[in-house]
Homo-oligomer: A and B are copies of this chain.
Amino acid sequence: MSAHTDHAHTAAAPHDHAHCVADALTRADALCAERGARLTILRRRVLELVWSSHRPRGAYAILEDLSQQDGKATAPLTVYRALEFLVDQGLVHRIESLNAYVGCAAPGASHSGQFLVCEGCGDAAEIDDPSIRSAIDAAATVRGFRVQRPTVEVRGVCKDCQEKHP
């Protein structure tokens, strides 16, 4: 069995993050190839920067990284367009309540877009809980509402932060 287990990595838990990012990029390469979507150099760089931490990152933070790497100013649109592509491909999620973006832990699989957002450390743990999804679907169906994109963002305090500040 691989050293990389299935359990989700977090910003807090120490782990081989380079591997983590490399995995994400490899998955993205495979998925885009499979779909005929063009994961260009720029988009791939932006994806890598989104993954640079396990925390949600703002578009302008990514913009700064990009500008610094290139030694010249990059325009916001450059980043926003790349992010739009990545979100459309399901490689990145946008956290609405933070105006920020985070790499998807399981692209390809169904994305319900559920996050536990910690007020303490800023971590946004992606979960995919079928019972939340089915409860939403049921509530929508009863009201004749056709679901396109359910968003669940739960603000609170993660386990680690609770232990640190009891």
On A, residues with C-beta under 8 Å from B are: 96-97, 114, 116, 118-119, 125, 127, 129, 131-132, 134-136, 138-140, 143-159, 162
> Smallest Cβ distance from A157 to chain B, in angstroms?
5
The oligomer's copy count stands at: 2
CB <8 Å contact, A97 and B158:
no
CA separation between A140 and B114, bound complex, in Å?
A: 11
| Contact present for B131 and A143 (CB under 8 Å) | no
Cα A23 to Cα B22 in complex, Å, equals: 57
Q: Do A162 and B150 touch across chains, with their CB atoms under 8 A apart? A: no
B140 and A156 contact, CB distance less than 8 A: yes
Query: CB distance A159 to B135 under 8 Å?
Result: no
- Report chain B residues within 8 Å CB of A134: 135
Residue from the list B129, B140, B156 in contact with A135, Cβ < 8 A: B129
Other 8 A-B pairs with CB < 8 A, given A96-B97, A151-B155: A97-B151, A125-B145, A129-B139, A145-B159, A146-B162, A147-B156, A148-B156, A151-B151
* Distance of A133 from chain B, by nearest CB (Å): 8
User: Distance in Å from the Cβ of A97 to the closest Cβ of chain B?
Assistant: 4
**CA–CA, A39 and B162, complex, Å:** 35
Q: Which chain B residue lies CB-closest to A149?
A: B155
Minimum CB–CB distance for A59 against chain B, Å: 15
Minimal Cβ-Cβ distance residue in B for A154: B150
Query: With A132-B132, A135-B131, A135-B132 in contact, is A155–B159 under 8 Å at CB?
Result: no
Bound complex: CA of A162 vs CA of B148, how far in Å? 13
